[in-house]
Chains A and B, each alone.
Chain A
Amino acid sequence: MTNIIEVDQVSKKFNDRMILKDVSFTIKEGTINGLLGPNGAGKTTIIRLLNGVIEATTGIMKVMGFDPQLHGDEIRKRVGIVTESASLYHDMTAWDNLVFFSKIYGKYDTKRIKHLLEQFDMLGFKDQLVGSFSTGMKKRISLAKALLHNPKLLFLDEPTNGLDPEGINEVIHYLRKVNQEEGVTILICSHVLHQLETICDSYLFLNEGRIVEKGAKKELEDKYLKEIRLLVETGLKPLNSQSYMGYTYSRRGSNQLEFILPSKDEITSLLANILSETWIHNCEITNRSLEALYFDIRGGIEVE
């Protein structure tokens, strides 16, 4: 897989304040990537820099082989974007909005507009004013707008903000579909981590303008998961109140025990032992969620 984005030692200063410091990373073509970090970490600035709408203070960037500062329009022609604040025209219908933007992108094609409206289940609402839509519906039209010109790369800045759980699931579902069916590379900025867990191939963790960690979840797990916390719903009542089979545990509920294991390899034997004594209804590793890893990574920085 080739790199669709290459960022090397990029810094951005604004009003004498460093927003980004020596940021370097690459994004592989066809992947879905999460750019994670708290509010104000610099996520939106990275998206703006990659689109060439603002200029970096130092560093080199390449998006699809183009330098955003020199060939911004070439990048913007091939990139779709949904940002938190960038909006649609509320006094225009969904159809008119999409027609307007398709012409602006030089790709006016009513078949494509119709296809996208169908994909996002919005064809029935095409003649209604965007201003009358719910946040979720606006988000879907924004996604359709971002895909009008068959982009190779899609930037999404907090795409799930303001959406209800159903809306969030829908957006995630559409993004996966776009990635699989149209082969679009996606970069999602978010601070709501659990939503991205099921969709991203790899992650970039940004904190105070610096990339503090990057990699696939498996790589991050291998690096940060020093112990396994296994929550088991079981009828087991160990005689020893602190350990079972040599593994320390704590009681989390009337039928819930959380074991601390040195590695995943110990899980099978532990469960086999419990099953030989009593029932098990459920078990899960609690400390390998993206959120848990995120706090491990951030904790590491604070310690440093």
Chain B
Amino acid sequence: MNKTTILTIARKDMKATFSSKKVWVPMIIVAVILCIIVPALIAYFGIHHDLLGTSTKDIEKPINAFIKDFPNEEMRNTLIALPTLGYKFVYFFLTFMMIPFFLMVAIINSMVTSSNSFVGEKERNTLETLLFAPISIKDLFLGKVLASLIPTLGISFAAFIISFIVVNIITYPHFKVILYFNSTWMILMFWVIPILVLFNIILNVLISAKVKTFQEAQQFGGLLVLPIVGIIISQASGMFFLSPFTLFLIGAALLIGNLFLIKLVTKFSNRNTLFQSQIH
């Protein structure tokens, strides 16, 4: 393993990502909208404008029933104690429903950077130049993974910190509780998301090294969004609760998945195979 080579490749790719507005602007926009603007608007309007209105007694009933049946006791008690339906909604949404949004941003951004990694080199005819250089395929893979991991995690963490500040400025005077500051969110941000992003990147880099065009790489990568959509639906319906322990297990399962993928990469890291499948 050659550290200089890995870092040189990673730096070159990151520079390319951030020198193309078409790439980095959408990545930032997605994070800002989903992780900062959406929770801030929900917090502000939920608390100050009573989003659901006072005349909507009809929907209060089923929502209260939903709260009553909620699987997590701590959350159930907190929700019951909150004075208005607006407060209940804001609290529920921010502590619970925001999780898939952060997962989604991490998935989308890692997909954008990683699906381009090998195919991008191939489409620019530079993969051949790299394969003719004295670098190991493993270092090339690691450089590519790092080049996707750093910006994706950077954007996710930055979005989390900004969202944390903005949301708490709006909600603290009313809830007297610091939102996002609990074991669920810490496990999500510093255990699940890094492992998920790594999983997604390795998978995408692997797909990207196997397929022939950028479009194919994107289509394969897109399939990974599906489980997140599943989480959103199950979360919203209260069917499946992402407790800290569940999140820890998801992270652990993904970590095992990562080890499996790394083994696949090692098996695949043959210059001859890569050259014959990609260069004509």
Contacts and interface: CB of A to CB of B under 8 A. Distances in A.
A52 B135 CA distance: 12
Contacts of B131: 53
A92 B19 CA distance: 10
A228 B279 CA distance: 45
A100 interface: yes
A55 B276 CA distance: 10
Interface string A86-103: 111111100000001101
Contacts, number: 73
Contact of A91 (B19, B128, B133, B135): B19
Nearest to B133: A104
Interface stretch (B4-12, B105-113, B259-267): B4-12
Interface residues of B, number: 27
Contact of B128 (A85, A103, A106): A85
Contacts of A101: 129, 133
A89 B126 contact: yes
A106 B276 contact: no
A285 interface: no
B129 A48 contact: no
Interface string B11-28: 010011001100000000
Given A54-B275, A100-B12, A103-B8, A86 B134 contact: no
Chain B contact residues, majority secondary structure: helix
A295 interface: no
A100 B126 contact: no
A266 interface: no
Interface string B120-133: 00001110111111
Interface string B152-183: 00000000000000000000000000000000
B135 A87 contact: no
A103 B136 CA distance: 14
A74 B134 CA distance: 7
A88 B134 contact: no
A157 B163 CA distance: 55
A183 interface: no
B271 interface: yes
Contacts of A83: 128-129, 132
B123 to A, nearest CB: 10
Nearest to A102: B8
A51 interface: yes
A105 interface: yes
A77 B134 contact: yes
Nearest to B20: A91
Interface of A: 14, 48, 51-55, 72-74, 76-77, 81, 83, 85-92, 100-101, 103-106
26 contacts: A53-B272, A54-B272, A54-B276, A73-B135, A73-B136, A76-B134, A81-B132, A83-B128, A85-B279, A86-B125, A86-B126, A86-B128, A87-B129, A88-B126, A89-B16, A92-B15, A100-B8, A100-B12, A101-B133, A103-B4, A104-B9, A104-B130, A104-B133, A104-B134, A105-B133, A106-B5
Interface of B: 2, 4-5, 8-9, 12, 15-16, 19-20, 124-126, 128-136, 271-272, 275-276, 279
